[in-house]
Structure 1
């Protein structure tokens, strides 16, 4: 298991925008599984929504992207590159994510070239699918 300090050695993201807490498994260039503990102290809950805190869907997708980026950037050929979104397809939000939830983020990389790739991500809370997306990324 890799903690936040180990994650920050690979990803360029930093709090409060680093949206993964632990890496559970990684097969460089193939797949990555991470966890995000969603707490009421998250900055975005101050405005989304103060009376009914719900994690924004775009941040769930970003957490999936960061998980996939970790798996890609652990390849020696991609070390020190910067990941960027190239696009999203077939994004579906199936359940709200609220404070106290733990997101299990699973990403598989379907295609990987030197500066471009595609993957599929799924986010779960207590084994229930809450979000899925096809991720397109570029490396700079």
Structure 2
């Protein structure tokens, strides 16, 4: 997926949704982190690291592509983000997503990892469809 029209994304990579349960409450996705990512220019020259905000963007884009049933509304909050292992050029970021209904809409809990282990745990909150932004 690319960024929605009218928005900018710091990530050039394509997010590929892999598996998804029939009801859409769990899904997997992958993102190949290439050395051509624009964010690598000047981000730790000689030892590039994919910034945490870019990991969050990959999770957000995967969540949008793999949303259950009726797509949730816009992202309203990053409830938490815990980073554990860095992501580097050449890594494949593997995402596991689980959706939960919450009073204000939906929450997507995600883990992101590479061959070196878990890179992040993220909780994103989305408004109900047609709800407040």
In which range does the TM-score fall when normalised by the shorter chain?
0.7 to 0.9
Q: Which has the higher helix share?
A: 1
Confirm whether residue 45 of structure 1 aligns to residue 40 of structure 2.
yes
Does the CA contact (< 8 Å) of 1:88 and 1:136 recur in 2? yes
* Mapping for residues 1-140 of structure 1, pairs under 5 Å: 7=1, 12=4, 17=11, 19-27=13-21, 28-72=23-67, 75=69, 77-78=70-71, 84-111=74-101, 116-126=105-115, 128-138=117-127, 139=129
Does the CA contact (< 8 Å) of 1:109 and 1:119 recur in 2? yes
2: CA distance, partners of 1:61 / 1:97: 12
Q: TM-score, normalised by structure 2?
A: 0.78
Q: What is the match of residue 3 of structure 1?
A: none
Figure out how many residues of one structure are paired with residues of the other and give that number: 126
Structural RMSD (CA): 2.7
1:55 deviates by: 0.3
What per-residue deviation string (whole Å, max 9, x for no partner) do you get for residues 10-54 of structure 1?
Answer: x73788746443221123541221101111101110132333210
CA 1:110–1:26: 2 relative to 1, 3 Å: same
Q: Which runs of 5+ in 2 are unaligned?
A: none
What per-residue deviation string (whole Å, max 9, x for no partner) do you get for residues 44-93 of structure 1?
Answer: 10132333210000110111111111121x63x33xx7x53211223110
1: CA distance, partners of 2:90 / 2:107: 31
Q: TM-score, normalised by structure 1?
A: 0.74
Secondary structure at the aligned position of 2:60 is classed as helix
What per-residue deviation string (whole Å, max 9, x for no partner) do you get for residues 76-130 of structure 1?
Answer: x33xx7x5321122311001100111110111001167x8211201001126111
Q: Which runs of 5+ in 1 are unaligned?
A: 1-6
89-98 or 24-33, which deviates more: 24-33
